[in-house]
Amino acid sequence: MNQSHISFEFFPPQTSEGMEKLGLARKQLATLNPEFFSVTFGAGGSTRDRTLETVKAIKAEGFDAAPHLSCVGSTRENISAILRTYRDAGIRRIVALRGDLPSGMATAGEFQYANELVEFIRKETGDHFHLEVAAYPEVHPQARSAKDDLHNFKKKIDAGANSAITQYFYNADSYFHFVDECEKLGVTAPIVPGIMPIVRYSQLARFSDACGAEIPRWMRKTLEGFGDDSESVQAFGLDAVASLCEKLLAGGAPGLHFYTLNQAKPSIAILERLK
């Protein structure tokens, strides 16, 4: 496996203790020589300062950092200011997303869709940033149809995105089908599968229900059967996700992007299996 095509995602911690833990996790993951670390951006930019702080810490350690930038609930002026800040900080990669409206906020702001954000970034900064966008092999939960979702994804690539990271999934066929459909539309940008290690089933079920990622019935039933036996959940999760990653790489996936939830061990265990 080409180590340079591994990347890891973090969320910005809320406390100094969380920052310390993340620093430790980052040190462990850094030994795998990832292509970049990405850092999420809360609904409506609610974690903007903490995202920047985390990104700067990653840069200071000599790694490529990719802040997420979501546009819903934002203005052109606001996005322009954030782009200047990232350029000044030496950032060369951004994950450009539509994002979620914070609860209580009624309007989407000046951007409605991620392709508008990609277009705006290109207009403002030219080719300065490598732009990643999101892809949904199992169809975006708010899409009217799978066909609509594909065309929306193509719009983001046509607007100037360089590559994509998918929502996590546990069915390799959904990824390969999505890539095939994209190729039929003339999309040649790399589409990197997003990988979610299985650590706690209740947490995974909650995330999956919220974002539309399917846990196949056989996996759900097996995980439910373990109850509170976290050791068995993790052992099964390691087998299942490592096997998924093997299939994806054997089938030509250009790399793997791990949703770490700020933990190093689950991702490291999967990658050790892949060696």
User: What's the confidence (pLDDT) of residue 275?
Assistant: 82
pLDDT tens profile 217-249: 999 999 999 999 999 999 999 999 999 999 999
How would you label 18-51 residue by residue, b for 16+ Cβ within 10 Å and e otherwise? ebeebeebbeebbeeebbbbbbbbbebbebbebb
Query: For the whole model, what pTM was predicted?
Result: 0.94
DSSP secondary-structure letter at 138?
Answer: T
Distance CA 167, CA 139 (A): 9
CA-to-CA distance for 231 and 68, rounded, in angstroms?
Answer: 33
Report which of 104, 134, 137 is spatially closest to residue 212, judged by C-alpha positions. Answer: 137
- Report d(CA 142, CA 114) in Å as an integer: 14
Closest by Cα among 53, 70, 66 to 8:
66
**Residue 225: CATH number of its domain:** 3.20.20.220
Q: Are 68 and 40 in contact, with CB atoms under 8 Å apart?
A: yes
- What's the structural domain count of the chain? 1
Predicted confidence at residue 245, as pLDDT, reads: 97
Backbone angles phi, psi at 38, to 5 degrees: -105, 155
Q: Which tokens in the block code for residue 64?
A: 């490529």
pLDDT computed for residue 107 by the predictor: 60
Domain containing residue 16: 3-274
Q: Tens digits of per-residue pLDDT, 75-99?
A: 899 999 999 999 999 999 999 999 8
Note if 20 is an active site residue. no
Question: Which residues touch 97 (CB under 8 Å, ≥6 apart)?
Answer: 41, 68, 69, 70, 71, 114, 117, 133, 134
Distance set, CA 22 to CA 26, 40, 98, 223 (Å): 6, 13, 26, 27
* pLDDT reported for residue 109: 75
Which of 226, 221, 219 is CA-nearest to residue 241? 219
pLDDT of residue 45: 53
pLDDT by position in tens, the chain (length 275): 444 489 999 999 889 899 999 999 999 999 999 999 999 986 555 567 888 889 999 999 999 999 999 988 888 999 999 999 999 999 999 999 998 766 555 566 788 899 999 999 999 999 999 999 999 999 998 889 999 999 999 999 999 999 999 999 999 999 999 999 999 999 999 999 999 999 999 999 999 998 889 999 999 999 999 999 999 999 999 999 999 999 999 999 999 999 999 999 999 999 999 98
In the block, tokens 């087998």 appear at 239
* Cβ within 8 Å of residue 133, ≥6 positions away: 95, 96, 97, 114, 118, 153, 156, 157, 161, 163, 164, 165
9, 35, 116, 132: the active-site residue:
9
Q: How many CA atoms lie within 13 A of 58 on its CB side?
A: 35
